[in-house]
Amino acid sequence: MPPPLHRILTLGRRAWCDLVRAQGALLKAQWRFLQEPIGALAIRDASGTLSASGDAERARQLAVAVQRAAAHGVFRPYCLVQTLALRELLLAERIEGASIRIGVRRDRGAFQAHAWIRWGDQILGDRPEHVATFTEVDDLRVMGNR
């Protein structure tokens, strides 16, 4: 049995529940992504200006669940969809203060953008060294509709 499949099959009850919830949150976030302007999805809301509060271990568990669902679920969502889903799961667990962050960079002449969650001084759902390769953008309202 391939290692990733073996790991998924050996998940505990809570991790399976998180995986199912994460897949549902990703589907909901994908729908929003298709319906709303990107700039409106990425604008920081009031919850992102609060100080981080809640269970840090639980926040990390939810981030792992979203990563697993994104990698092995029914579709492969963009990073913005993953951040929308993770933020919703965090809010549902009363883990507050998470904000969606957007960064840009040029790689061999190509423009790239990336989204992640910042919760206090932590990056959730991504590697800090990867996020550090992007320059954070504060206001995406100029993007308007696709």
Q: What is the pLDDT of residues 26-40, one digit of tens each?
A: 999 999 999 988 767
Average pLDDT, integer, range 52-73: 95
Asked whether the predicted pLDDT for residue 10 surpasses 70, the reply is: yes
Would you state the pLDDT for residue 36? Answer: 86
**For position 38, what pLDDT does the model report?**
74
97 vs 119: CA distance, rounded Å: 6
Residue 106 is given by DSSP the state E
Instruction: Check residue 97 and give its pLDDT.
Output: 94
Whether pTM exceeds 0.75: yes
Do residues 117 and 102 lie in contact, with contact meaning Cβ atoms separated by under 8 Å?
no
Region 60-85: what's the mean pLDDT? 96
User: Kindly report the CA angle at 134 between 35 and 60, in degrees rounded to 5?
Assistant: 70
Q: Residue 47 has what pLDDT?
A: 47
In this prediction, residue 72 has a pLDDT band, given cuts at 50, 70 and 90, of: very high
Q: Which residues pair with 107 in a beta bridge?
A: 110
- Alpha-carbon Rg for the chain, nearest whole angstrom, is 15
Burial of 142 (C-beta count, 10 Å sphere; 0-12/13-18/19+): exposed
Confidence (pLDDT) at 12:
87
CA pair distance 140, 40, nearest whole angstrom:
8
- Could you report the per-residue pLDDT of 91-119, keeping only the tens digit for each? 999 999 999 999 999 999 999 999 999 99
Q: Are strands 122-124 and 98-107 parallel, antiparallel or unpaired?
A: unpaired
